[in-house]
Amino acid sequence: MVKRCWLFMFVVVILSAGSVKVQAVQDGDGKMTMPDGSVYQGHFQDGAFNGAGELDYPDQRQYRGEFKHGLFDGKGVFLYTDGSKYEGEFKDGLLDGQGVITYADGSTYKGKFKQGDAVAPVSGS
């Protein structure tokens, strides 16, 4: 049985400079602290997370990898609060492509994901 892992992503809309602590430029490398305490450090393009970056949430979840238009997109690693880890491909903020989930108990699921769902385990997994 495949355990289902959900990945929670949010979109940040900046309405005023006072609501978000920004230490970044529209294009290039920088750092941004969101109102909920999440911290992004990495590359920006047109004011959005784009390219390599790191996102740390206040509840200890972490993402390290590639972003596109502010969403997880490309290769990355997501660490969950329960100690589980997903390492693989993302698209539009969701698990999508080849990846491996290592659960807190040490068990693993290796296979293909589509729009956040496990769709095909790799033989022998």
- Residue predicted with more confidence, 99 or 13: 99
Q: Is the Cβ–Cβ distance between 27 and 33 less than 8 Å?
A: no
In tens, the pLDDT along 35-84 reads 999 999 999 988 889 999 999 999 999 999 999 999 999 999 999 999 99
Indicate whether 104 belongs to any domain. yes
Indicate whether 4 belongs to any domain. no
pLDDT score at 25: 56
Q: Domain of 83?
A: 28-118
Residue 14 confidence (pLDDT) above 70: no
Indicate whether 124 belongs to any domain. no
Average pLDDT estimate for 24-40: 85
Closest CA to 61 of 110, 116, 2, 7: 7
Backbone angles phi, psi at 34, to 5 degrees: -85, 165
Which residues, 6+ apart, have CB-to-CB distance to 18 below 8 Å? none
Indicate whether 11 belongs to any domain. no
Distance CA 59, CA 73 (A): 22
Indicate whether 100 belongs to any domain. yes
pLDDT score at 120: 87
Indicate whether 76 belongs to any domain. yes
pLDDT score at 111: 95
Coil vs helix vs strand at 3: coil
Indicate whether 18 belongs to any domain. no
CATH, residue 43: 2.20.110.10
Q: How many domains does the chain have?
A: 1
CA 81, distance to chain mean position in Å, is 13
DSSP β-bridge partners for residue 22? 32
In tens, the pLDDT along 88-124 reads 999 999 999 999 999 999 999 999 999 999 998 886 5
Indicate whether 110 belongs to any domain. yes
Q: Is the Cβ–Cβ distance between 52 and 65 less than 8 Å?
A: yes
